[in-house]
Amino acid sequence: MREVQFDGLVGPTHNYGGLSPGNVASTLHGGQVSNPRAAAREGLAKMRFVQGLGVAQAVLPPHDRPHLPTLRRLGFTGSDEQVIAAAGEGDGFALRICSSASAMWTANAATVAPSRDASDGRVHLTPANLQQMFHRAIEPQTTTRVLRAIFADEARFAVHDPLPGGGQLADEGAANHTRLETSAGAAHVFAWGRCAWGAFAGPARYPARQTREASQTLARLHRLDPARCVFPHQHPEGIDAGAFHTDVMAVGTGRFFMFHELAFVDEGQLLADLRRLLGDELVTVRASSHELPAEDAVAAYPFNSQVLALPDGSMVILAPEDAREDAAARAFLERVVAGGGPVRAVHYIDVRQSMHNGGGPACLRLRVPLEASEIAALSGRVLLDRALYDALCAWVDRHYRDRLTPSDLADPAVAREGMTALDELTKLLGLGAVYDFQGAP
Ligand code: SUG
């Protein structure tokens, strides 16, 4: 089994809309000028780097934005041009919440279980409903179509509908899920920030996004052994410091898990459960607030790194450039490498365009553990090789602007350019019709 990294291609409307309260970077950079072309190129460079390490890398397409069907549902009428112009009036908020390129953060696209952990022997994917933020709640329909186009073989893959139930089953996808594995077996860590039913200690300043009930439903839907699932509570102080998803303060894969002391409320219980399920092979590294203040963890994102298992069995961390520049974050990552565990090196990568919206390397990828036969059964041309990388770079250079402000979204040319680009992309990736403007069902 190999963990395939499915990265989201950054969409042509990548902009700083200031749309995510509780996501410190999004609020801080709201209204600034973005560079969609540079953002897409940074993402592609990261994918190329990962593939160069010998790790399987794949791509997921961006979504069509501004999303005209949603704008029409909000009551804007007339031609596409009229809809966009009316939604852009005043403070342009309606247009902004329908124009984010947020589908690029594919750690929030879905939650995934490998076939070897599911009792029916299939790979399970549930697209996240992303109920908590309007601009993200319009992603699941297209995400479902895209995943069904790629994971089309129903004998091997089950792509479920997003969870029902509105805010009570609010689900943010794999950003709150970690699969660990040793020779003793696998363990699934499903973290949550609030309960739909029942009392809990919640954050005071910022919203908690994932519900415990959503996490429990995913474990059941994916046919996991309940005895191998744990459901820790995200620390409310961590959320209030800006850890809106678990992956802002914790990351792990295989036999390695690192976390900040403000990631979970009861880390003692979590570690005891993991030790019981995974035995002594599991290596954990904890950062205290003294060693790594929460502000540094949130600003520099050392935990929002990719932990990648290389073909020789060793691991590397792919961290954002910002973590190299932050003394405390860098010292922590250096301690991880020096500690004698499976992680042999830290590589730093510049994904600043995404970071300014609160999305680090780990947000930009969805991990899908697949057997070789399952990789061979994927539909479309989504596995990255040199030729696809070159084709995607040329596609970005042909279609993307190098400057975009939230107010530019009112220009109907932005929507037209996006549709032309995405139509071409679906042909390049061999996906068929996945967008509303292509008449997808
Ligand atoms: O949902 N930012 C995203 C960042 C998602 C990061 N993902 C993970 N941690 N896995 C969010 O808050 C900002 C968009 C804006 O403000 O324009 C945004 O949606």
Residue 74 inside a domain? The answer is no
Residue 167 Cβ < 6 Å to ligand 1: no
Ligand 1 mutation pick, 10, 14, 19, max ligand atoms within 8 A of CB = 19
CATH code, domain carrying 402: 3.75.10.20
Residue 73 inside a domain? The answer is no
Q: Hey, whose CA ends up nearest to atom 17 of ligand 1? A: 17
Residue 75 inside a domain? The answer is no
Residue 92 inside a domain? The answer is no
- Token readout for 138 is 């319009």
Instruction: Determine the atom of ligand 1 nearest the C-alpha atom of 16.
Output: 17
Helix, strand or coil, per DSSP, at residue 389: helix
- Token readout for 100 is 């984010």
Distances (CA, A) of 400 to 36, 125, 164, 420, 421: 6, 31, 35, 11, 8
Residue 363 Cβ < 6 Å to ligand 1: yes
> Following DSSP, what letter does each residue of 275-309 receive, concatenated?
HHHHGGG-EEEEE-TTTS-HHHHHHH-TTSSEEEE
Provide φ and ψ at 46, rounded to 5°: -65, -45
Residue 24 Cβ < 6 Å to ligand 1: no
| Interval 329-373: pLDDT, tens | 999 999 999 999 999 999 999 999 999 999 999 999 999 999 999
Please identify which of the residues 172, 213, 261, 374 carries the catalytic annotation.
Answer: 172
Please tell me the predicted confidence (pLDDT) of residue 222: 98
In angstroms, what is the span from residue 322 Cα to ligand 1's centroid?
17
Whole-structure pTM value: 0.98
Please tell me the predicted confidence (pLDDT) of residue 16: 98
What is the extent of the structural domain holding 180?
Answer: 2-65+100-438
Residue 263 — pLDDT band, cuts 50, 70, 90?
Answer: very high
Residue 117 inside a domain? The answer is yes
Please tell me the predicted confidence (pLDDT) of residue 188: 99
Please tell me the predicted confidence (pLDDT) of residue 62: 98
Q: Is 363 a catalytic residue?
A: yes
DSSP 137: H
Residue 408 inside a domain? The answer is yes
Tell me how far apart the alpha carbons of residues 81 and 158 are, in angstroms, rounded to a whole number: 39
Please identify which of the residues 14, 188, 245, 399 carries the catalytic annotation.
Answer: 245
Residue 358 Cβ < 6 Å to ligand 1: yes
Distances (CA, A) of 125 to 12, 49, 362: 26, 26, 18
| Interval 88-129: pLDDT, tens | 999 999 999 999 999 999 999 999 999 999 999 999 999 999
Residue 344 inside a domain? The answer is yes
Helix, strand or coil, per DSSP, at residue 436: helix
Residue 83 inside a domain? The answer is no
Element (H, E) at 116: none
Number of domains in the chain: 1
In angstroms, what is the span from residue 352 Cα to ligand 1's centroid?
13
What angle do the packed helices 386-399 and 36-52 form, to 10 degrees? 170
